[in-house]
Amino acid sequence: MWDKFELDSTVLKVPQDIRLWQSEKGIVDIKADTLAILVKRDGQKRGYFFHGQGKLVLDTIVETAEGALGRSIEKELNKPFLMLTRTEDLQAKLSEASEDDLKRMGYENWRSFADAASESLDRFLGRQSFIHEHSRNRGFVFAFPSDDEKLDVLVADDDKLVYRSADITFISEAGKTVLKGPHGMICSGNGKSVVIKRGNFIVCKDCAAKTSVST
Per-residue pLDDT tens over the stretch 167-201: 899 999 888 899 998 778 888 887 777 877 765 54
Residue 195 near residue 203 (C-beta atoms within 8 A): yes
Q: What pLDDT is attached to residue 208?
A: 34
Looking at the predicted structure, is the pLDDT value of residue 15 above 90?
yes
User: Domain range spanning residue 120?
Assistant: 5-174
Please give the Cα distance from 80 to 142 (Å, whole number).
Answer: 11
Output the CA–CA distances (angstroms, integers) from residue 95 to 12, 26, 65, 126, in the order listed. 5, 27, 50, 30
Q: What pLDDT is attached to residue 209?
A: 33
Average pLDDT, stretch 142-162?
Answer: 86
Amino acid present at 157: D
- Each residue's pLDDT tens digit, 66-98: 677 778 999 999 999 999 888 888 988 999 999
Residue 53 is assigned to a structural domain of this protein: yes
Q: What pLDDT is attached to residue 30?
A: 97
pTM beyond 0.85: no
Per the model's pLDDT, the better-predicted residue between 49 and 174 turns out to be: 49
Residue 181 near residue 64 (C-beta atoms within 8 A): no
Residue 206 is assigned to a structural domain of this protein: no
Percent of the chain with pLDDT over 70: 83
Average pLDDT, stretch 118-146?
Answer: 72
Classify the C-alpha dihedral 44-141-166-173 as positive or negative: negative
For the chain, the C-alpha Rg in angstroms (whole number) is 20
Q: What pLDDT is attached to residue 2?
A: 47
Residue 179 is assigned to a structural domain of this protein: no
Residue 23 is assigned to a structural domain of this protein: yes
Percent of the chain with pLDDT over 90: 39
Q: Which region among 59-63, 134-138, 187-191 has the lowest average model confidence (pLDDT)?
A: 134-138
Average pLDDT, stretch 137-152?
Answer: 81
Looking at the predicted structure, is the pLDDT value of residue 12 above 70?
yes
Residue 200 is assigned to a structural domain of this protein: no
Please give the Cα distance from 14 to 96 (Å, whole number).
Answer: 9
Kindly report each contact of residues 148-152 with a partner whose C-beta sits within 8 Å and lies 24 or more positions away, as own/partner: 151/124, 151/127, 152/75
Residue 208 is assigned to a structural domain of this protein: no
Residue 198 is assigned to a structural domain of this protein: no
Q: What pLDDT is attached to residue 103?
A: 93
What is the layout of strands, in order, in the sheet containing 72-76? 18-23, 26-30, 54-59, 72-76
Q: How many domains does the chain have?
A: 1
Q: Please name which of 72, 24, 66, 69 lies closest in space to residue 180, comparing C-alpha atoms.
A: 69
Q: Which region among 2-11, 127-136, 194-203 has the lowest average model confidence (pLDDT)?
A: 127-136
Residue 9 is assigned to a structural domain of this protein: yes
Looking at the predicted structure, is the pLDDT value of residue 212 above 90?
no
